[in-house]
Structure 1
């Protein structure tokens, strides 16, 4: 009965929420009728969006590579996603002689499509609520470790029950800090091929300068295709595979958008922390994110120095540089937005309301001291959390640490084998070494390790430091003399393995000590983390009870969500150029041409774009005002992971592809800002215009179902 009352309370809260806020679970869509989505402009039934037994829109939305979203747009498995989502695959298909990042790529027939190695797409099949099942096995007297063991046992059973002997991937996730649990059934396809990508000048127009900003003029899209075996089932890459025949694909509307039009986004948002306390936000913006920003900036400086010198290095490090640059600007913008939008002040007001409720006699024993305990956790773990951020960026960017540890660990096992076992292991070990050193620039990596360790040691408190290098001036020489200096030196060691050389290798010893110290630190703080998780769970449980009329929805956690709202403008700023913009919810070709700077890395354009603009050759893709619209805004609630998500109109037709948010609301992962928070989307008409008029890829256009 108690569980039923909680569910009814949660559903009641949905009815009061504005349409533009919240990332909703698919199985709750029918209940969202209380908000009356039809009045907002939706002309579909809930079952046309999410159905287990029949094809529906959810069958056209894929988790792209585990880090982005994509949409199926043809009966032959064609996928649209963002250019920055396909960036790695485009870079890996490129060579200095055939630079597809710079010049673009268009397969004019299926035999020309590139195998995107390691890329997969995940189709959502169904989901279910297992909250009662799991919570019934738990009680308040269990330790967090005991609780974790019981939950993991239940998860394994749920996965086995729903996988149909391995046919499906089953993921069980907790929601509201472990107060609810749902399972998700997926089907993964691993034969994904690159079909088309605009040149960098279109796909990344504006570069880092325009990233997270509005107005935007970016053609952030790329085109892939998913293949299956001849029976339509997932299969590894094979020339025998055929284009997938999807359960559903999205028709495309070239009607255009106007302010107030209904817009719906389905996708896989990564992480939000909408219920983070004021103490957590303060730690984030005053200590954690500044550490991330500084470490990212250092890594970017090193990469750019060597990328500017060598084309091959530029291609090899392009993906990592783009990722680091994206998060660098995001973290810096979040710090600014939190302060500007008074996010911490607003959180404290919310916590005052909670504390007033918690002080009541019937609530005090469980909830009365929670906020004090949560605050104490952040005070006690502050230095450790700072260390985690510097450490995370060091591990991501300093590949010598990763390579020395991973390969050295395998070599330890290899050296302990007899000759027969070594002969069996050797080919796989050689392959692993080549993969870890693929695109590896020893000079760049040597400087990266020195710079990142120097920064780490200057910023991290000594009692929580994991890496201790005594003489940094000698580090480059230490690297050069190491077994792990480069691919050749490791492979040479493999031909004449010497246990003593490995045990005395200073780079290997440095990496081993770092990992060991990091593990010991994690163990030292494990108990505090365990208690903090419990307090966070109880706080959110209490908050939902204390504020029954407040809007509550689960934080994003890489599960498929729906968000709906409208095409919406943004208040203009005095420091921005709004050329070509009549109403501030869309941009046009005129604005992009005004930003054009010949030879500039961020604002150059292909000559053919300039010619098409001069001729006003927009075809069926021009708006009723005669202009070519490039990007538009909507108030859909999105975050990282939504990149590539379809923006869908009230009839279920594709009108755009979400690719970014705006700097004014970079605090959006912590709190939704209805007046400021926007999704920046590529207008689908611009996507089609680039494919059709710019690239001349008629084969792609002919596959699509275009509604005029």
Structure 2
């Protein structure tokens, strides 16, 4: 009886998850929280949100460029996403003479829309749960290799069963650390064209200073169009392609909102670690993220030095710099938030309760030692994880290493061909060279190589470091790079025209790149057994955690699959150091254009504003887009649960009408990927009325508004 009472007390001690916490798979909505959502203000049925046989909300939501979300807003293939999601494409389409990133761009007719090379959008056709099918063939006594072989075979079979001979892309993902499995059927469209973008001074207003901070005043949107062939099917870019017709496009509401109004977001959140243990969080904030922060800040400093000197370099590196800067601030903010919010202590308290359950006689054999084993795993991989963080930033930013590795084997193969073989390969080789050297500043890259390798040598423990990098002369690596076949596009092309296998084999940069990659492979093999145990222990811990809380509806961590999160338009708790720029604290759920003007600093890279924008605001020429209270809204807050990858996601009211685009979170809750903070966690959104006003009034592109379905 005592044991039963202990277990009952333990079960009741867990707090039920808040209704607005969680990034839910769309097939879970009806089973888990459809009724809750109806009570909160949802007017749609589960079938209207997700349906296989009929048009539904999911058909208007796409994954954009692999790392963001966008929404279809017209029957002519028009889509909205964030400015920072389209940033790379906009920068790539810009030149110093035709600088769309700085000046903005609006296509006044479809023939003026610009093909965004490399950008694709992904529609989800359907998904299904295959957990029973796969788990029936698995058991906990299998080795990692045995388990992987079975899972890979099932993945391959499921993909073949659902791809319809290549018509669809089929992706199978594991959930809950490998305890469940779902497959997703996608259709990918590759002809995507830039239709419109505000200038950088609006789309990125506030820059790095305001990033992750509230109040925000950022007009963070861009407009693209999806094209298809004459039959509506995906196709590579062709002038003969036509705007595709989505199964569903979102109506747009001009009604406005108030605190407490229902808000729903559907998108493709990247990755969360909500079930990470206290040991994992400690490793992350004390070792892994500090390494990320230090190495990314160094890379930013090198880029900024050369970007400030030359507009072409600024455009070429704009997207890379923005991405590195975003994660740099995010990682540092996560460290600060975990410390401030006492996150590790909260996790330890939950783990103590788990252990109470795990040590019961019926559970102890399977789950009793899992947490202690995980603690030991982290001790084993701690230095290796730090190396991974320095290494990941080196690979991301020191392009001479990636260029040498990517081209090296190709040029070796080319050099080995007879004359006929060389002639056949040459177009492919030239295309590869054109691609990797596009937008490269060699002086920047030489300094980046020296700096990143030098930092790696100083910070990484020798027992886990790459011997190749540790032996390199970091101060003079740029000299090696500049003497290499891979120094410039011209030197690489010179090799193509005068191929010499002995020369490529002896190339110093190729030796460095090949040695480094080989070191990484050997390091992975060294830790294979530890990683195998680590994966199993994580899987077992989450399996036990779910069983210990049968009254709780668990949601899976984000993994770039479509999710729904719901909540409300919300305010942030008062903070003494927060300036609201004319908005009262009780109304701090929104910002308006007067706040933008209050922040305006002429000539400042982050807070400058176009004169046309200032003139329109001065005239109060807001038309039908101003709020019924008279202000022109810019951004607003909701308490939805999102993460990276949700950028560009539609924020919708209870009827599925678009009211905004999600683009950021707030600094107080940057630990949100680890734990949901019900008090502080908010989503920052650009008001859809600001989007439409910018298109029509600022951009003089009212013809685009005529494509939309507006709900007044």
Alignment partners' CA distance in 1, 2:426 and 2:611: 51
SS in 1 for 2:677: coil
**1:420: how far off?**
1.6
Aligned position for 1:678: 682
SS at match of 1:613: helix
Is 1:707 matched with 2:704?
A: no
1:227-261 deviation digits (Å, cap 9, x = unpaired): 11111111111111110111110010011010000
Query: Given the alignment, which residue of 473, 476, 479 partners 2:478?
Result: 476
Q: Which residue does the alignment assign to 1:367?
A: 367
| Aligned-partner Cα distance in 1 for 2:89–2:345 | 43
How many residues of Structure 1 are paired with residues of Structure 2 in the alignment?
Answer: 695
**SS of residue paired to 1:218:** coil
Aligned partner of 1:11 in structure 2 is: none
Q: Distance in 1 between matches of 2:147 and 2:33?
A: 36
Name 1:441's counterpart in structure 2: 441
Q: Which residue of 1 aligns with 2:262?
A: 262
Structure-1 separation of matches of 2:380 and 2:659: 49
TM superposition shift of 1:17: 3.9
One of 596, 600, 624 as aligned partner of 2:600:
596
What is aligned with 1:522? 524
Normalization by structure 2: what TM-score? 0.96
* Higher mean C-alpha deviation, range 22-31 or range 335-344: 22-31
Rate the CA distance shift 1:15–1:347 in 2: closer, same or farther, 3 A. Answer: closer
Q: Secondary structure at the match of 1:53?
A: coil
Matches for 1:645-684 after TM superposition, within 5 Å: 645-684=649-688
**CA shift at 1:550, angstroms?**
3.8
Work out which of the residue numbers 626, 630, 634 in structure 1 matches 2:634: 630
Contact 1:197 1:222 in 2 (8 A): yes
Give 3-state SS (helix, strand or coil) of 1:98's partner.
coil
Instruction: Give secondary structure in 2 for the equivalent of 1:603.
Output: coil
The corresponding residue for 1:568 is 570
Tell me, which stretches of 5 or more residues in structure 2 are unaligned? 1-13
Determine the C-alpha separation between the residues in 1 that align with 2:562 and 2:517: 35
TM-score (normalizing by structure 1): 0.97
Q: Is the 8 A contact 2:454 2:475 kept in 1?
A: no
CA–CA distance in structure 2, aligned partners of residues 496 and 527 of structure 1: 46
Contact 1:68 1:644 in 2 (8 A): yes
Shift in Å, 1:436? 0.5
What's the counterpart of residue 60 of structure 2? 60
Deviation per residue, 1:189-230 (Å, 9 max, x gap): 111000000000100000000001100000000000001111
Q: What do residues 437-486 of structure 1 show as CA deviations (whole Å, max 9, x unaligned)? A: 11111100000000000000000011111122442333222222111111
**1:176 alignment partner in structure 2:** 176
Q: Does structure 2 retain, via aligned residues, the 8 Å contact 1:665–1:673?
A: yes
Aligned to 2:465: 465
- Say if 1:198 and 1:222, in contact at 8 Å, map to a contact too: yes
Secondary structure of 1:703's counterpart equals: coil
| Structure-1 residue corresponding to 2:295 | 295
The aligned counterpart of 1:5 is none
How far residue 19 of structure 1 moved from its aligned partner, in angstroms, is 2.4
Which residue of structure 2 lines up, in the alignment, with residue 18 of structure 1? 18
- Find the residue that maps to 1:502 and give its secondary structure: helix
Q: Which residue of structure 2 aligns with residue 489 of structure 1? A: 491
Give the deviation of 1:34 after TM superposition.
5.5
SS of residue paired to 1:127: strand
Partner residue of 1:605? 609
Gaps of 5+ in 1: 1-13
Matches of 1:408 and 1:33, distance apart in 2: 53
* Residue number in structure 2 paired with 1:403: 403
Secondary structure in 2 aligned to 1:186?
strand
Superposed, 1:615-626 pairs within 5 Å as 615-626=619-630
Distance 1:115 1:245 in 2: 18
- The residue aligned with 1:555 is 557
1:568 counterpart SS class? coil
**CA contact 1:71–1:250 (8 Å) conserved in 2:** yes
Structure-1 residue corresponding to 2:4: none
Cα deviation code 1:40-70 (max 9, x no counterpart): 1111111111111110111000011110000
Deviation sequence 1:245-281 (CA, Å, 0-9, x none)? 1111001001101000000000000000000000000
